[in-house]
Amino acid sequence: MTQTKIPSISCAFDSGNIVVQSVSPTPTGTFRAELAIRKDKDSDFFQWFHFRVAAQPGDDLELVITGLKESAYPGGWPGYRACVSEDRDFWERTDTSYDADAGTLTIHYQMTGGVAWFAYFAPYSIERHHDLVAEIASRAGVRHRELGLSIEGQPIDCLEMGEGPVQVWLYARQHPGESMAEWWMEGALEKLTDPADPHARLLRSKCTLHIVPNMNPDGSARGHLRTNAAGVNLNREWHEPSADRSPEVLCVRNAMDATGVHWAMDVHGDEAIPHVFIAGFDGIPSWTEDQGTRYERYRDLLASRTPDFQTKQGYPRAPAGRANLSMSTNQLAERFGASHGCVAMTLEMPFKDNDDLPDPDQGWSPERSKLLAHDCLAVLAEMVAG
């Protein structure tokens, strides 16, 4: 008699996050696992998951993630499909359904090989981050700076290039579970260091670019959605960062103070909205018509350049004088508005598919994130060329 081999589920690796409650066969031959997502350390945020399943080729899996009524963004689950990969290179979407009444997400998958990885979005590992830093830092014209250390002692890397007077800051993964942001960064860095790329040549001639690919390496390694190792949401620390709570923000903001900021982009992912969009700095106390006009021109040019970006869906605008200055985009536009006419923006990409141009196989993906970075930089080149 052949004994049924129960699949093994684990997450003891970089950015892993899942709690296994039970795994058992069903009468129909499917293996059903009941799972839960671990909260960010010292925080109530949870939404990011990343785990692997070792099973037999041909096994049918029913992976049920429970307790999602209390997740950070319950509105992110309807219409969402989980990411899966058997080679950790190509990530596709698999059949997924959400029961709002029960608060459960059910992922269905049939194994092809013996092991598969599942994630909220295609992960961007700390190891890949170091590979990216090493590769880009070795290229001609690139300067590397370590701006500081995270709470747990990981470096906050900054890659710099160009000699022009326009100071541009690009930074990502304040919220570590938004891994599409570092895929965007990979695309941006590849474009900016391509000696044949005309947009990159123009940007390097007119700008000094400062790129921070990952502002929250501790949260990234821990499998957090939104916080650092102290349970702090870094994008609510920009008004008053501290060495104890948010050294990651403190070291980046100090470096910005030293250079000044003309253009800034904070790269993120949005759990609920199935579109790509940007948010600006409406409502800052010192808002000027010039800042607002240049922000709107950038937004509209990007919409005309790529069908992956749109301007109709996004966040509500803050009323005059009511901007939250603890958020980086608002803080930078206010902090460097008078001195540098700073235009700051938050770029949001979806965890779901992009409803403006759906891809049934991959949904929003690392590949599309990287290509979007190319378009964002091409528009920036057009803006600074004038």
Residue 160 CA, distance from chain mean position: 20
Q: Report which DSSP code applies to 38.
A: P
As a whole number of angstroms, the distance between CA 206 and CA 358 comes to: 36
Q: Give CA–CA dist 226/203, Å, rounded.
A: 32
Burial profile 1-26: b = 16 or more Cβ within 10 angstroms, e = fewer: eeeeeebebebeebbbbbbeeebeee
Pick the catalytic residue: 289, 334, 348, 382?
A: 348
Rounded to 5 degrees, what angle do the CA atoms 79, 231, 269 make?
A: 30
Nearest to 331 by CA among 263, 269, 239, 235: 239
**Helix, coil or strand: residue 75:** helix
Query: What is the per-residue burial (b if ≥16 Cβ within 10 Å, else e) of 95-126?
Result: ebebeeeebbbbbebebeeeebbbbbbbbbbb
The Cα 167–Cα 207 span in angstroms is 6
Report residue 89 CA to chain centroid gap: 18
| Whether 348 is catalytic | yes
Q: Which residues are catalytic?
A: 348
